[in-house]
Amino acid sequence: MVHDVNSGTARTQHTTSDLGASVEITVTVNGTTQTHEVEPRLLLVQYIREVVGLTGTNIGCDTSSCGACSLHLDGEAVKSCTVLAVQADGQEIRTIEGMAAADGTLHPMQQAFMEHHGLQCGYCTPGMVMAATSLLEENPNPTEEDVRLGLEGNLCRCTGYHNIVKSVLAAASAGA
């Protein structure tokens, strides 16, 4: 068997092309409703980064393993590489850019990550913050074990998770 080192995630173009009839979608991103023509195969993460132009949502793998691309779709964290842009039609999307208040005040989860040194290089951080806020929506008073299990879909290579867990528990205590 020959390993296909040239395969990656399904790749698409965000402009109209001859690869598939484009579809119109209307989504609300961080409170702003927008309409775009997209190819049916366009991934939500590519739509957010390349069409909407919000690059805070990162790509860390091509197997839906790392969680760097986590964002909120209708209030729930999803890995945006596992969702097609067309599936998001009519839904509310919240990305990391939509977390802090307009006056610059950080979301309590962002604040907790800052205060407890829950980030180093910061590449996994947007996904981690989005997954953690969604976790607390479901379970406002998690144990340490709950947090570790709840974030197992989000990988971090810098922190050893110690301070990420601490940040999320602190955010929970603060009622984030």
For binding to another protein (CB under 8 A), which residues are involved?
A: 1-9, 11-13, 15, 18, 49, 53-66, 68, 95-97, 99-100, 106, 110, 113-115, 117, 119-126, 129, 144, 147-149, 151-165
Q: Give whichever of 78 and 156 is closer to another protein, judged by the CB atom.
A: 156
CA-nearest of 68, 40, 73 to 55 is 68
Find the shortest distance in angstroms from Cβ 129 to another protein. 7
Number of H helices, E strands in the chain: 5, 5
Find the shortest distance in angstroms from Cβ 54 to another protein. 7
Q: Give whichever of 74 and 117 is closer to another protein, judged by the CB atom.
A: 117
How many whole angstroms separate alpha carbon 12 and alpha carbon 43? 8
Q: Give whichever of 34 and 65 is closer to another protein, judged by the CB atom.
A: 65
Find the shortest distance in angstroms from Cβ 47 to another protein. 13
Q: Give whichever of 129 and 172 is closer to another protein, judged by the CB atom.
A: 129
CA-nearest of 96, 55, 90, 89 to 72 is 96
Find the shortest distance in angstroms from Cβ 30 to another protein. 10
How many whole angstroms separate alpha carbon 75 and alpha carbon 137? 9
Evaluated on CA atoms 72, 61, 25, 40, the torsion sign reads negative
